Amino acid sequence: MAIDSQHKNVVYQLSEMEHFYGPNIHILSSPFMLSILAKLGSPETHQPMINELVEILYGHLIDETIGFLFPKKNISIETRMKSYHSEAVYEGQIIDPDIPCVTVDLARAGTFPSHLCYQKLNYLMNPNVVRQDHFYVARQCNDKGEVIGVNVSGSKIGGPVDNSILLFPDPMGATGGTIVEVYQHYKNKVGGKPLLMIAMHLIVTPEYLRNVKAHCPDLHIFALRLDRGLSSQAILNEVPGKKWEQERGLNDNQYIVPGAGGLGEIMNNSYC
């Protein structure tokens, strides 16, 4: 059987923005996704369109993440044309379907995105090695509305994570407190060493990237947009990360500017 060379080593290349934040950080470059994200953040957009747009956005994020980071394997599989042609066999690389995957629901903004990732992984991978964990975490604020930490009220974790790919689909990467908390929990309190740990966001800030990079050195970060709208015009003219210490994307209450509003509230129509 002849083997087509184009399928021997399938290399996936991301379309991403130039920046100086480091190799594990990927700010994707997609005019279509930026357009959908702009519509999501508009005050004119309401449910049920909110969740429909989130589904489009996370469909792209999970596709890019899988294509770039997930391990591949070589297979030989017959197609329906085999009854007519002995050559009708696909031989080449696919995503290895037997790599254990865990998507973590960071309630509440991350609940729907995690479900979307869980659903897609069940189609792609062997469903017996795909699971969804649940982590109940929220901002802890003072009486001025300023974020002073995170409050973990509980979790439901389905077992060890040895040699697993962990996904943290959390729409807003604002301060980084939530991701640092859940990262350290899986590192220190859940059995096994993960193969990969990946955070997936719609929007991130420079402050988020600085915090997470300092505390989660092996975490891969994928985002559709970087928001640093409270930076000076001189800084906005620079390539992201070149003058990282002067970049600002959070207001005094640690909400993202331009941002998209509180997606946890908007997605659930719950403002308490």
Q: Which of 26-35, 49-58, 75-84, 163-172 has the lowest mean pLDDT?
A: 75-84
Q: What is the mean pLDDT of the chain?
A: 92
Where helices occur in 48-140 by DSSP H, the ranges are: 49-69, 111-124
Tokens of 222: 């994928």
| 150 strand-pairing partners | 139
For residue 7, is it within any domain?
A: no
pLDDT value at position 81?
92
CA distances from 132 to 65, 120, 121, 168, 201 (A): 17, 12, 10, 10, 18
Q: How many domains does the chain have?
A: 1
Average pLDDT over residues 171-195: 94
Among 67-76, 148-157, 209-218, 220-229, which is the least confidently predicted range?
148-157
Is residue 2 a part of any domain in this protein? no
Tell me, what's the pLDDT at 120? 97
Indicate yes or no: pTM above 0.75: yes
In this prediction, residues 115-144 reach a mean pLDDT of 87
**Tell me, what's the pLDDT at 272?**
63
In a domain, 21, yes or no: yes
pLDDT of residue 147: 53
pLDDT exceeds 60 at position 175: yes
Q: What is the mean pLDDT of residues 179-184?
A: 94
Q: d(Cα 13, Cα 78) in Å, to the nearest integer?
A: 28
| pLDDT confidence bin for 163, thresholds 50/70/90 | very high
Question: Cα separation of 172 and 255, whole Å?
Answer: 9
* pLDDT at residue 1, rounded to an integer: 58
Whether 152 shows a pLDDT value over 90: the answer reads no
Task: Mean pLDDT check: name the lowest of 44-58, 84-98, 256-270.
Answer: 256-270
165, 126 Cβ separation under 8 angstroms: no
Q: Which pLDDT value is given to residue 162?
A: 97
Can you say whether residue 192 is alpha, beta or left, with left for phi > 0 and alpha for psi between -120 and 50 degrees?
left
Across residues 74-89, what is the average pLDDT?
91
- On whether residue 148 sits in a domain, the answer given is yes
Element spanning 101, H or E:
strand 101-107
Q: What number of residues does the chain have?
A: 272
Residue 116 lies in a domain: yes
Q: Which of 237, 240, 180 is nearest to 205 (CA)?
A: 240
- Which pLDDT does position 145 carry in this prediction? 54
> Binning pLDDT at 50, 70 and 90, where does residue 143 land?
low
Structural domain boundaries, residue 165 = 15-268
Highest mean pLDDT among 6-10, 12-16, 151-155, 267-271: 12-16
Whether 5 maps to a domain, the answer reads no
More confident residue, 56 or 156: 56
As a whole number of angstroms, the distance between CA 207 and CA 179 comes to: 13
Evaluate if residue 146 carries a pLDDT over 60.
Answer: no
Q: What is the pLDDT of residue 3?
A: 78
Candidates 184, 135, 136; CA nearest to 158 is 135
Crossing angle of helices 111-124 and 49-69, rounded to 10°: 50
| Residue 193, in any domain of the structure | yes
Instruction: Examine residue 105 and state whether it is found in any structural domain, yes or no.
Output: yes
**What CATH number is given to the structural domain containing 197?**
3.40.50.2020
Model confidence at 153: pLDDT above 60: no
Q: 54: which 2 tokens?
A: 């989130």
